[in-house]
Amino acid sequence: MLRKRIIFTLIYEDGKFNQSRNFRLQKVGDINWLERNYRFKDIAFSLDELIVLNASKEEKKIEEFANILERLVDDVFIPVASGGGVGSVDDAKLLFNSGADKLVLNSLLYTNPDVVRQIVKQYGSQSVVASIDYKTIGGNSLVFINNGMQKIDIALDQYIEHVQNLGVGELYLNSIEKDGTGFGYDFDTFDKVANTIKIPLIIAGGAGNEKHLISGLENDNINAVATANLFNFIGSGLPRARKLIIEKGINIAEWK
Amino acid sequence: MKLVIIDYGMGNMKSISSAFKYLGVDEIVTSDKYKDIKSADKLLLPGVGSFVNAMNKIKDLALDEILGEVVLEDKKPILGICLGMQLLCNSSEEDGGAQGLGYVDAECRKFSKENLKVPHVGFNQVNSNPNTKLYDGLNEENDFYFTHSYKLQSNYNINQSICHYGEDFIASYEIDNMVGTQFHPELSQTNGLQLLKNFIDKFLDA
C-alpha cells in the first residue's frame, strides 16, 4: 500500500535557516548551527522527504543557496525537493545538480508558465512540485506569490487547475495564516478543493504537534503532511513523533 | 571496485554517487565514454524524465552499442534505476511510443486506473521475490521510495518483485547480470542502502 509521508521544510534566507510565522521569518542559525545543534543527518531518518526553500528576499543568490543545499544533503538518503527563486531552466539544472531530486516552483507558475512547461518536459512531471501559498478571507481562498507578498487575481481552485495543466507532479498547499502558528492545519480549505486535485497533495502550515500530523495523515484527500516548525519538531521532536505515529498503526513507511 | 554511472545527461547522479560513496565503493566514475564503461566492474544506469528523450540521447552517444557489448557479451552487472530500469526493456508507450534497449522482456505503460493520482509518489511496499539476491538481508515486504507515471509489466518470468498501486506492477527485476528497480534505492533510507550493498557484494565483478 502506498504510504503517507511526513515532510520537513527547511527555510533558508540570506545565510540563515528560519522559523517562519505567518511568513515573517525569524532567523535561527546558519548551516553550522543546524549541524551542531540538531544533528540533521540523524533527524533525516525520521523523515520521508525533505524540502529546502530559498526565501532570500533581496536577490535570490541561487548559487550560494545551491552550495548550502549540496552540503546539507550529503549523506542524507531521502528525497530532497528544493526551490525558491527559480526563474529559468538553468536555475532548475543548478538545483538538480546540487542534490535536489525534485524542484519546488511557486511564483514562476504564474509569471512564466512556459518555463514551467520546459522544466516539466525535460525532467518529467514527477520532478516538479507546485507550491501554492494562500489566505482565506471571508470564505474565499486567495492566492499569493513572491513569498506571500503579492496577491494574484485567480481563485485557489482555478489556480490549482492552472498549475495541474502545466504538468506538475505534486501540489504543496500552504496556508499563510496558519503558517508557524502551531494551531493545526487548515482542513476546511483542503477539503473544499480536494475534488479539483488530481495529483498527490502535500499540506503545510500550522502543524504544532504530532496530533496535527496524524489528523493530516488520516485524511483520505491528503498524501503528505509538511511542517517547517523547527522549534517543535527538530531535535528529538520528530523521531518521537514518528515512533508514536507508527505505534498508532498509521500508514507510514518503516525501515530497518 | 570500479562503478561507472552512465551519464547521458538525464537524472540526479549526485544522490546515487553519494550513496555508493557512503557504502565504501572506492572508485565511482560518471561517464559516457567507451573506455570507462569497458573497464567498469559494475554499471549503473540512472534516469528521470522522458523515455523518448533518453533513448535519443543514448543513441546519439552510441551508448546502445557500448551497452550491448558490455552488458550482453561481457555480462557486466548493471543496475537500472527508475527510467534506467525501463530503458533496458522492450518499449514504452510514453510520448506516442518508443523502443527501448530490449535486453529485458517487459513493456512500459501509463498508470490508467480511474481516479488514481498520478504520478505514484512516496514509499510503497515491495514484495521481494525469493529467487533474487537484491533483497538479501531485508524483509519479505519492504518500503521503497517511488516517483513515476509509467510502470513496467511483463508476461515473462524476469524474477519480478511486485508492488501495488491501483494495480500490480513490476517494482524490480533480476535476470543474471541485469537488475532494475522502479523505485529509488538511493532515496529509500536504510532499506535502499542495503539493496545497493547487495548489488555491490552479491553480483560478481566482471
In the A/B pair of chains, how many CB contacts fall below 8 A?
A: 119
Contact B122 A2 (CB under 8 A): yes
What's the helix, strand, coil split of chain A in %, to 5?
A: 40, 30, 35
Q: Is A198 on the interface with B (CB under 8 A)?
A: yes
Q: Is A50 on the interface with B (CB under 8 A)?
A: no
Q: Tell me, yes or no, if B186 is annotated catalytic.
A: yes
Q: Write out chain A residues lying below 8 Å of B147, CB-based.
A: 79, 101-102, 126-127, 169
Query: One-letter amino acid identity for B40?
Result: A
The pLDDT assigned to B99 comes to 97
The pLDDT assigned to A67 comes to 93
Domain ranges of chain A: 5-247
The pLDDT assigned to A60 comes to 66
Q: Write out chain A residues lying below 8 Å of B118, CB-based.
A: 198-199
CA distances to A149, A178, A186, B66, B194 from A206, in Å: 19, 5, 7, 53, 36
The pLDDT assigned to B198 comes to 98
Distance CA B162, CA B168 (A): 6
Q: Are A221 and A201 a contacting pair, CB within 8 Å?
A: yes
More confident residue, B175 or A74: B175
Is the model's pLDDT at B206 over the cut of 60?
no
Which residue in B82, B89, B108, B163 is the catalytic one? B82
For B121, the closest of A122, A169, A255 (CB atoms) is A169
| Total of domains in chain B | 1
Rounded to 5 degrees, φ, ψ at B23 are -80, 0
Domain A5-247 has CATH 3.40.50.970: no
More confident residue, B106 or A256: B106
Which tens digits make up the pLDDT trace of A162-199?
999 999 999 999 999 999 888 999 999 999 999 999 99
Interface probe with B: pick from A126, A160, A172, A254, most Cβ of B within 10 Å: A126
The pLDDT assigned to B57 comes to 95
Distance CA B157, CA B79 (A): 18
pTM of the model: 0.95
Which tens digits make up the pLDDT trace of B33-89?
999 999 999 999 998 888 999 999 999 999 999 999 999 999 999 999 999 999 999
Residues of chain A predicted below pLDDT 50: none
The pLDDT assigned to B151 comes to 97
| A5 sits in which H/E element | strand A5-13
CA distance B103 to chain A (A): 24
The pLDDT assigned to A237 comes to 81
Which residues on adjacent β-strands are paired with residue B200?
none
Interface probe with B: pick from A72, A196, A256, most Cβ of B within 10 Å: A256
The pLDDT assigned to B35 comes to 98
Q: Are B65 and B59 a contacting pair, CB within 8 Å?
A: no
Which residues on adjacent β-strands are paired with residue B98?
B92
Is the model's pLDDT at B96 over the cut of 80?
yes
CATH number of the domain bearing residue B40: 3.40.50.880
Angle between helices A210-217 and A237-247 (to 10 degrees): 50
Rounded to 5 degrees, φ, ψ at A31 are -65, -35
Q: For residue B12, what are the domain limits?
A: 2-202
Longest dimension (CA), chain A: 48
Closest CA to B27 of B16, B14, B41, B13: B41
The pLDDT assigned to B149 comes to 94
